[in-house]
Chain A
Amino acid sequence: MNRNLQQEELLRIATQMNLEFRFPAGIHYERFFRELKETGRIMGVRCPECKRVLVPPRPVCGECFVRTGEWVEVGPEGTVIAYTSIYFPFIDGSTGKPRSIPYGAGLIQLDGSFSAINHILEEGDPGKLHIGMRVKAVLKEEREGNIGDILYFKTIEPEE
């Protein structure tokens, strides 16, 4: 069936929905975000078998299929192991609105953690970003218990 789209008025249904969701955090995210909110500490869990420290924390180590155990503090300093500068207004999934551009983003290996975490970098100029640069988490003053409590990672100037 060939339709002449230049001549035909196509019928479309336009919809907009406002939906509410409530996601229970579960034991591990709850501990992580309470600690971040109340003490400003970033916490991971260690796998009792492979000893990897996982951030974000979770109940099971994917590689060993055993329950994770001991809680350990990581960061707040870390090393950038991958970076980018975003020039496209992607949707911020926590607000549903486009993020202002450009901004820097990186994979940050927090000191004491096996996992790296993806987060926003203070530095947004790709010419000034490099793998191996040292950064430190900058937290909100009034924290709410979500990942946005880490505002961004600021560049630590190398010591003279």
Chain B
Amino acid sequence: MGKRVAIIGTGQTNHCSSREDVNEMELVYEAASAALMDAEMTIQEIDAVVLANMELFEGRALPDMWCGEGAGAFMKHSFKISTGGTSGTSGAISGYYHAASGLFDTVMVVGFEKHSDGNTAAGMALTDPFWDRHIAAAAIGNFALSVSEYMADRGVTKEQSAKVAVKARRNACNNPHAHLQMPHLTVKEVLESPILAYPIHRLEMCPQSDGACAIIFASEKIAQKKCPRPAWVRAAVTRHDHIYLGEVKHRLATMRSLRAAAKSAYGIVGIREPIKEFDVAEIYDPLTYAEIAWYEALGFCRDGEGGRLVDDGITQMDGELPVNPSGGVISTNPVGASGTIRVAEAALQIHGRAGKRQIPDVNLALATGYGVYCWSDVIILSSKPG
């Protein structure tokens, strides 16, 4: 068992499609400074810095080299985590490990991505040169394949999918950092947006955003001193599934990596009824259908009931388990930061600093990460150190 660790501060940029006014280091500096201000700390009080970034998307190698000083990493213990879409949650898990080991009292994690700098489509095409490059159609085409399986497996409807998009973009209106804020979006508009890859419409997919997010982890003694309501890390688990899409059959319906990570994390905390016990969840939803599939994989309902959860409004802001009050990845997606944002938003809910998107009385919060074809991270935060 690791030592007790809590998140005591978070900071985000305002995410949008193009931050052409700044370079990537400044983006990182904005998030790092905001987190330090939130935690009422100086960079001198940070022992270690973990950076998370997808790489390749910005067309610049070694992002930690170009941006590390913006995160205050100069002459500190520091390195970068890069695990595709899970980079941001894996970075957070790494930050937690650093502090939980007892070797570091304070660790800052900064996830970042500046899609507008580079060529995301090219980054997505740089897969295995012998096999994937010829036939892969980026994240959307690969998801579309899985969605056809999922709809057949579970009977999820287009309308249920579109409702998830509406929920996300409306929730995003309460989040000043969110990229796509659409207060009046309707199911009809979602389903009338262009099809990118059948059956996925443009408005069912996440955007590409520029943004950064920082989190400060602290040991028990420092957390108790610095933070009135620390967000204690109670579990942090990561699982990776096969490398080829064709070997992860019924990917959305089975989602083995997320089920395994959730089972392990729930076991550590002693969670039996996640829908009742969690007060809020910030899950990595790259597209609408995935959010519904993750409800099932995370045990919010039985298999096949994900669509009903949407229809019944269970995961709306006023539902039994609000999912993604921030608007989620469907509304904001600076990939290397997207996972970090999930953890930060879950922590904010426990800190009670989530502003207009605050859910009342949050004591137990879930954050997840999703990456590559089928990699998953699960992090559980609590108002109680356990």
Q: A10-B21, A81-B249, A87-B198 are in contact. Are A62 and B148 (CB under 8 A)?
A: no
Q: Is A92 an interface residue (CB 8 A)?
A: yes
Q: Is B222 an interface residue (CB 8 A)?
A: no
Q: Is A106 an interface residue (CB 8 A)?
A: yes
Contact with B along A117-130 (1 / 0, CB 8 A): 11110000010000
A-B CB contacts (within 8 Å), total count: 128
Q: A115-B247, A126-B198 are in contact. Are A86 and B129 (CB under 8 A)?
A: no
Q: Is A158 an interface residue (CB 8 A)?
A: no
Q: A88-B140, A118-B136 are in contact. Are A147 and B130 (CB under 8 A)?
A: yes
Q: Is A25 an interface residue (CB 8 A)?
A: yes
Question: How many residues on A have C-beta within 8 angstroms of the other chain's C-beta atoms?
Answer: 45
Shortest distance in angstroms between A104's beta carbon and chain B's nearest beta carbon? Answer: 9
Instruction: Give the CA-CA distance A10 to B22 in the complex, in Å.
Output: 10
Q: A83-B148, A116-B249, A118-B142 are in contact. Are A92 and B133 (CB under 8 A)?
A: yes
Identify the closest chain B residue to A25 (Cβ).
B130
Instruction: Give the CA-CA distance A130 to B55 in the complex, in Å.
Output: 37
Q: A23-B129, A33-B130, A90-B137 are in contact. Are A118 and B149 (CB under 8 A)?
A: no
Q: Which residues of chain A have C-beta atoms less than 8 A from B135's C-beta?
A: 105, 118-120, 147
The residues in A between 43 and 80 inclusive whose CB is less than 8 angstroms from any CB of B are 54-56, 62
Selecting from B167-175, B189-197, B350-358, the interface stretch reads B189-197
Q: Is A156 an interface residue (CB 8 A)?
A: no
Instruction: Give the CA-CA distance A23 to B132 in the complex, in Å.
Output: 14
Question: How many residues on B have C-beta within 8 angstroms of the other chain's C-beta atoms?
Answer: 43
The residues in B between 1 and 34 inclusive whose CB is less than 8 angstroms from any CB of A are 20-22
Q: Is B43 an interface residue (CB 8 A)?
A: no
Q: Are A118 and B121 in contact (CB under 8 A)?
A: no
Identify the closest chain A residue to B122 (Cβ).
A91
Q: Which residues of chain A have C-beta atoms less than 8 A from B141's C-beta?
A: 84, 86, 90, 105
Q: Which residues of chain A have C-beta atoms less than 8 A from B140's C-beta?
A: 88, 90
Instruction: Give the CA-CA distance A54 to B248 in the complex, in Å.
Output: 12
The residues in A between 1 and 35 inclusive whose CB is less than 8 angstroms from any CB of B are 1, 3, 5, 10, 12, 21, 23, 25, 29, 33
Instruction: Give the CA-CA distance A93 to B121 in the complex, in Å.
Output: 9
Q: Which residues of chain A have C-beta atoms less than 8 A from B247's C-beta?
A: 54, 114-116
The residues in B between 225 and 279 inclusive whose CB is less than 8 angstroms from any CB of A are 242-247, 249
Shortest distance in angstroms between B134's beta carbon and chain A's nearest beta carbon? Answer: 4
Instruction: Give the CA-CA distance A12 to B136 in the complex, in Å.
Output: 31
Instruction: Give the CA-CA distance A131 to B122 in the complex, in Å.
Output: 30
Interface residues of A (CB under 8 A from B): 1, 3, 5, 10, 12, 21, 23, 25, 29, 33, 54-56, 62, 81-88, 90-94, 96, 99, 105-108, 114-120, 126, 131, 146-148
